[in-house]
């Protein structure tokens, strides 16, 4: 996901906790600075998010850890088969990131991304609000929805 000024990438990984060493090794072999203990700490946290740095660039990778089935859609990017995350899942992940982000500039970017998704993509708002309440991010979502209404969009 390209953001203004820097590049941030978000990846959602579904796996079992006992597969943590496999995940850590895969991320290390991909050139990321990863410590298995940091992944375990993220796994045990309420939001299950870990940020790791690329060993060769200033970029970071935010990893959303889950053991749930992922909502995804098949597609292609530049002819390469890939999967896309549904808009509701992406918004929920970004809401969780906003809630735990310490860097203000990253939270601003996530907020702008959510506004853009809501503006151009059909979203099931009822289901989104329900999930946001369950994840304790409904206040952030409501704030963004009200901002969208104030802008007349």
**Rounded-to-integer distance, Cα 121 and Cα 100, Å:** 25
pLDDT at 150: 67
pLDDT at 100: 80
Q: What is the pTM of this model?
A: 0.63
**Rounded-to-integer distance, Cα 137 and Cα 3, Å:** 22
Per-run averaged pLDDT (10 residues), the chain, 153 residues = 46 83 92 92 84 86 79 82 82 86 78 88 93 94 84 60
Indicate the domain borders of the chain: 1-70, 86-153
Closest CA to 95 of 73, 118, 75: 118
Residues counted in the chain = 153
**Rounded-to-integer distance, Cα 68 and Cα 135, Å:** 14
pLDDT at 11: 75
**Rounded-to-integer distance, Cα 105 and Cα 134, Å:** 26
CB 84 within 8 A of CB 77: no
pLDDT at 152: 61
pLDDT at 126: 95
According to DSSP, the residues that pair with 102 across neighbouring strands are: none
pLDDT at 144: 93
């Amino acid at each position: 996901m390209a953001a203004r000024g820097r590049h941030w990438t978000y990846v959602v990984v579904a796996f079992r906790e006992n597969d943590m060493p496999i995940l850590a090794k895969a991320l290390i072999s991909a050139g990321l600075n990863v410590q298995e203990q940091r992944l375990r700490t993220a796994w045990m946290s309420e939001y299950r998010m870990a940020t790791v740095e690329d060993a060769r660039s200033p970029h970071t990778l935010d990893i959303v850890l889950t053991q749930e089935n992922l909502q995804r859609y098949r597609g292609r990017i530049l002819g390469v088969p890939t999967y896309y995350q549904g808009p509701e899942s992406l918004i929920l992940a970004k809401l969780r990131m906003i809630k735990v982000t310490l860097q203000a500039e990253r939270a601003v970017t996530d907020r702008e991304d959510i506004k853009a998704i809501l503006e151009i993509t059909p979203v099931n708002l009822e289901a989104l609000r329900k999930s946001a309440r369950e994840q304790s991010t409904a206040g952030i979502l409501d704030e963004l929805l009200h901002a969208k209404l104030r802008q007349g969009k």
